[in-house]
Amino acid sequence: MALMIGVSGIRGLIGDTLTPQVVLDFAQAYGTILDGGRVVLGRDTRPSGEMFASAAAAGLAAAGCEVTHVDVAMTPTIGHAIRAGAYDGGVIITASHNPQPWNGLKFLDDRGVAPNPARAKRIEDTWRKKAWRCTDSFREQQRDSDAGRRHVEAVRGAIEVDLSPIRGTRVVLDSVNGAGCLEMPGMLRALGCEVVHMNGEPTGEFAHTPEPLAENLTDLCAAVRRHDAAIGFAQDPDADRLVIVDETGAFIGEEYTLALSVQAVLSRRPGAIATNLSTSRLVDAIAERYQCEVIRTAVGEANVATGMLEHDCVIGGEGNGGVIDPRISWVRDSLSAISLVLQLMCATGKRVSELVADLPRYAMIKQKVACASREAIDAATRKTAEAFAGERVSTIDGTRIDFADGWVHIRASNTEPIVRIMGEAEDRAVAEELIGRVRKASGL
């Protein structure tokens, strides 16, 4: 497996495609682009993290950066630290939801926003050409052991609803032994919840496949039932994504994290929202209730964050369980998402299953198709856009066609030589039929 380089950073197999040298070189390249500024450096709990953080610190220092070590931290904590501390950028050692043999790097700019495609390319080009600088004047490295607490304070300070109704409520949290172990249980307890913490040791030894998908969360669902809890939460290893289990122990689907967060915000502060083209129509249905605009962006956290900045959005995120609260940071944040969902429960007095039942039900189908080359993928998406010119078509990231009764989005993966095809409709058979029509037109 080659080193994966994309807008979400770099990821590789430890000791194979990802070595300390690769991490050092990438960090030096990014430090060069930051022109030797002040940089926050954090990592998730993977056992290789400390070693890679040392390599990254050396690369950043070589480029003349002043490095502030936050050590183990959630990705959104670094996003918040950059903004609050007026840093010039940040680097996080994480492979996000990839399994344990992986690690990688995420980069953030001086606003705490992930690189857009142009900036990601600049980092990659600087690395490929070894066009980094090496200074001979070094700046003393700093340490910040308080960033997690400040992040929690910011999330708690943004609470707008009386949370007394959840006092004493039992919640089950699965932090998969990742970075979410550190601050999340404390925040939940401070909000008055009784916390059953599963996989709560920050060892980086993942107790299950770490991507927060239904098939990996059967233990969490069982624990919610066993403990008679009101809700279950699962984080990915760097705690930017969050998924929810309802009080019956049912996994409600990753699309509902953003949907419930959008509902929580728009019911109090109507405004524009931003999400990517592959996210469920659930958010459109909610926005329609409050007559709010939905900005659809290309897939990728940076694109969503940029859309939010440009349109002064009150909330945004991605359907994979990533919620961005612009009052806290410009990265997806599981703490913000938990806070918003608990606020919605308190404001409405409803259980999770009731909140879900208040929203439309859609069936979403996700397919992957291997494709020989990027050119072939581009030709297929172009052909699709032409074939459905009479419908509502977006071509900002592959092709998305919005039909009256559903939508289909086909796009090239950022990380693999595959085409991703997603379709959604109220009825599963309709979603399948729409996908079939689009695939036929595209030649895929």
Catalytic positions, please? 96
Query: Applying CB under 5 A, does 88 fall inside the site for Mg ion?
Result: no
215: burial class by Cβ within 10 Å (0-12, 13-18, 19+)? exposed
Of 102 and 127, the one with the shorter C-beta distance to Mg ion is 102
Q: Name the residue nearer to Mg ion (CB basis): 240 or 397.
A: 240
In 3D space, the residue among 23, 38, 9 whose CA is nearest the CA of residue 114 turns out to be 9
Shortest CB 203 distance to Mg ion, Å:
18
Q: Let me know if 435 is exposed, middle or buried by CB neighbors in 10 A (0-12, 13-18, 19+).
A: buried
Find the shortest distance in angstroms from Cβ 21 to Mg ion: 25
Residue with tokens 């609803």: 161
Number of residues this chain uses to bind Mg ion (CB under 5 A): 4
Minimum distance from residue 139 beta carbon to Mg ion (Å): 30
Residues 6+ apart with CB under 8 A from 19: none
Give the residue, chosen from 238, 247, 318, 424, that forms a contact with Mg ion under the rule CB under 5 A.
238
Shortest Å, Cβ 256 to Mg ion: 18
Judge contact between 240 and 97, C-beta under 8 A. no
Binding pattern for the stretch 89-118 against Mg ion, x by CB under 5 A and - elsewhere: -------x----------------------
| Contact track, Mg ion, 188-227, x by CB under 5 A | ----------------------------------------
> How remote is the C-alpha of 329 from its chain's centroid?
12
Confirm if 126 and 29 have CB atoms less than 8 A apart: yes
> Which range touches Mg ion (CB under 5 A), out of 213-221, 239-247, 366-374, 398-406?
239-247
Q: Which is nearer to Mg ion, 238 or 284 (CB)?
A: 238
Residue whose CB is less far from Mg ion, 76 or 326 = 76
Question: Rounded to 5 degrees, what are φ and ψ at 126?
Answer: -60, -40
Q: Is 240 one of the binding residues for Mg ion (CB under 5 A)?
A: yes
236 binds Mg ion (CB under 5 A): yes
Q: Using CB under 5 A as the criterion, what x/- string covers residues 48-87 for binding Mg ion?
A: ----------------------------------------
Q: Which is nearer to Mg ion, 237 or 423 (CB)?
A: 237
Cα–Cα distance between 155 and 101 in angstroms, integer? 32
3-class secondary structure for 386-444? HHCCCCEEECCCCEEEEECCEEEEEEECCCCCEEEEEEEECCHHHHHHHHHHHHHHHCC
Nearer to Mg ion, 92 or 221 (CB): 92
Angle at 268 between CA 265 and CA 272, to 5 degrees: 55
Which phi and psi angles does 416 have, rounded to 5°? -135, 155
Q: Where on the chain is the footprint of Mg ion (CB under 5 A)?
A: 96, 236, 238, 240
